[in-house]
Amino acid sequence: MSTLLEVSGVSVSFDGFRAINNLSFRIGVAEMRAVIGPNGAGKTTFMDVVTGKTRPDEGHVLWGEKSQSLLKMSEAKIAQAGVGRKFQKPTVFEDQTVEENLLMALKKPRGWFAVLAYRPSEHDLEHVVELAKEIGLSNALTRKSGELSHGQKQWLEIGMLLAQEPRLLLVDEPAAGMTPAEREQTTAILVEAAKTRAVVVVEHDMEFVRRLNCKVTVLHEGAVLAEGSLDHVTSNQDVIDVYLGR
């Protein structure tokens, strides 16, 4: 399978502290990957690097068929290129309705002039309704997203991510604060999405990772400790020592 994202030899330090240490990672165009690791392993920082929020001290981040470097691009440009991100803490625009949130995320031209001239077409509105159905918010389209429950906000953010139609989804701890039933549906949405695009899921919950049924990358102290199937990595002695054994 061809590679969508290739991260090689990336290091990030904060005031001398190495949060990411010579990290390498690659993912194909339609692949699901779970990234696990103890708190402070550098999982969120890894996403920061890919999305352009944090500039690494060294290393390469290459994107797409043309192996374009993401390091010189702004956050907005990277997002436009097809990298979508869900934050650890649900971040939706609380003051705006679910519909407005989704419309803002829909894959449409992002320039200010195009946005000024934009009027949602029937098709766009239908798309929003479909998305809302998928994330279980059909009845909440006109509600302020600030009124939603924590789990619903998580979903809305996932919905916004899908609306962006990214080629790569970076999902940071999606199941946090969700009920078991909600978790199951989240898994289903992510597995479905991974059929046509690359999905990287950071998660603590092993049960959740097991259900994703995909290759697992274990991060520790900013570097890859092990990679492979869940059974493979959980039987790795290093992994047991630093993470699972605690």
Ligand X SMILES: Nc1ncnc2c1ncn2[C@@H]1O[C@H](COP(=O)(O)OP(=O)(O)O)[C@@H](O)[C@H]1O
The entry of Mg ion, another protein, ligand X, none that residue 9 binds, CB within 5 to 8 Å by partner kind = none
Q: Which lies closer to another protein via its Cβ, residue 8 or residue 91?
A: 91
**DSSP 3-state percent helix, strand, coil across the chain (nearest 5):** 40, 25, 35
How far is 8 from 26, CA to CA, in rounded Å? 8
Provide φ and ψ at 150, rounded to 5°: -55, -50
Considering the complex, state which of residue 37 and residue 151 has its C-beta at the smaller distance from ligand X.
37
Three-state SS for 213? Answer: coil
Query: According to CB under 8 A, which one of 20, 36, 105, 132 is a site residue for another protein?
Result: 105
CB atoms within 10 A of CB 178: 20
Q: How far apart are CA 143 and CA 8, in angstroms?
A: 43
138 binds another protein (CB under 8 A): no
Piece of 56-64, 75-83, 177-185, 198-206 that binds another protein (CB under 8 A): 75-83
Q: Which listed residue (7, 10, 34, 43) binds ligand X by CB under 6 A?
A: 43
Instruction: Give the residue ranges of DSSP H helices in the chain.
Output: 43-50, 75-81, 98-105, 112-117, 122-134, 150-163, 180-193, 206-212, 230-234, 237-239
- The nearer residue to another protein, 42 or 84, going by C-beta atoms, is 84
Q: Which residues bind Mg ion (CB under 5 A)?
A: 44
| Identified binder of another protein from the candidate list 42, 84, 151, 159, rule CB under 8 A | 84
Distance CA 172, CA 116 (A): 32
The answer to whether the CB of 14 falls within 8 A of the CB of 215 is no
9 binds another protein (CB under 8 A): no
Give CA–CA dist 239/21, Å, rounded: 17
Q: Which of 57, 58, 147, 231 binds another protein (CB under 8 A)?
A: 147
The reply on whether position 86 binds ligand X by CB under 6 A is no
Smaller CB separation from another protein, 68 or 80: 80
By CB under 6 A, residue 35 contacts ligand X: no
Contact 108, 118 (CB under 8 A): yes
Q: Is 202 in the site for another protein (CB under 8 A)?
A: no
The contact set with ligand X (CB under 6 A) reads 14, 19, 37, 39-45
The contact set with another protein (CB under 8 A) reads 51, 53, 74-77, 79-80, 84-85, 87, 91, 93-97, 99-100, 103-105, 110-112, 115-116, 118-120, 125, 144, 146-147, 160, 164
